[in-house]
Amino acid sequence: MSEKPVLYYFNARGKMETIRWLLTVAEVDFDEVFLTSRDQYLKLLENGDLLFQQVPMVEIDGMKLVQTRAILNYIAEKYNLHGKDLKDRAMIDMYSEGVKDLNEMIIMLIMSPDPKAKLEEIEKKAKERYLPVFEKALTGPVFLVGGKLSCADVYLLECTLMLEEKFAGILADFPNLKSFQGRMLQNDAIKEFVKPGSQRKPQPDDVYVKTVLEIFNMKT
């Protein structure tokens, strides 16, 4: 029986991608089961596999974990990426939650009725609210918190890469962030993950939206 975690989600980024990133940086191999039909989803429901009827779901260490943050917290704690004490933990959580708010905006873009306006809002918030905070936090330090790699560094890396996909050169005025990105990309596991053919998923498209709506029986 495989001891690798198994990820249940669409063959797409969505809310699962951050989990894929974290497992990758923790150097934990994982398998994936992609949701492709409503019947398959209904079967998972019948089996009682999805606590709140939702995905992401990750089978790990005998548990069927749902809720993105519960899954991320478990992985971060287990693999020592959640800070050395309560105060570092608080800083990590603050930074992580800020990054997640920004990530969420990007993730939801594909579902937006007015993507152009949303894009402008994301760029504004990124440049005025979020990036300056991390630029400042990385003045001098190599990692965001406590001189040690943490999940916050992973979430920030993921976020900066996603931002650059939408806004090439957005890091032009944020040299610490650019250097941080450069350092993180030298990590072997991360290097492999950003190459074609890895388990990293591409940007979402209309096929993805269609699949989601169909599987959850939602109106367009």
**Per-residue 3-state assignment (H helix, E strand, C coil) for 31-78:** EEEECCCHHHHHHHHHCCCCCCCCCCEEEECCEEEECHHHHHHHHHHH
Answer yes or no whether residue 52 interacts with a copy of itself by CB under 8 A: yes
Burial class (CB in 10 A: 0-12, 13-18, 19+), 143: middle
Answer yes or no whether residue 19 interacts with a copy of itself by CB under 8 A: no
In the list 61, 104, 173, 205, the residue contacting a copy of itself (rule: CB under 8 A) is 61
Stretch that binds a copy of itself, among 25-33, 126-134, 172-180, 202-210 (CB under 8 A): 126-134
Instruction: Give min distance, CB of 195 to a copy of itself, in A.
Output: 31
Burial code of 175-214, b = ≥16 C-beta within 10 A, e = fewer? ebbbebbeebeebeebeebeeeeebbbeebeeebeebbee
Answer yes or no whether residue 90 interacts with a copy of itself by CB under 8 A: yes
Q: Alpha-carbon dihedral of residues 154, 160, 164, 165, nearest 10 degrees?
A: 40
Nearer to a copy of itself, 70 or 209 (CB): 70
Stretch that binds a copy of itself, among 9-17, 62-70, 162-170, 183-191 (CB under 8 A): 62-70
Answer yes or no whether residue 97 interacts with a copy of itself by CB under 8 A: yes
Nearer to a copy of itself, 101 or 165 (CB): 101
Q: Which residues bind a copy of itself (CB under 8 A)?
A: 51-53, 61, 63, 65-70, 73-74, 77-78, 86-87, 89-90, 93-94, 96-98, 101, 129-130, 133
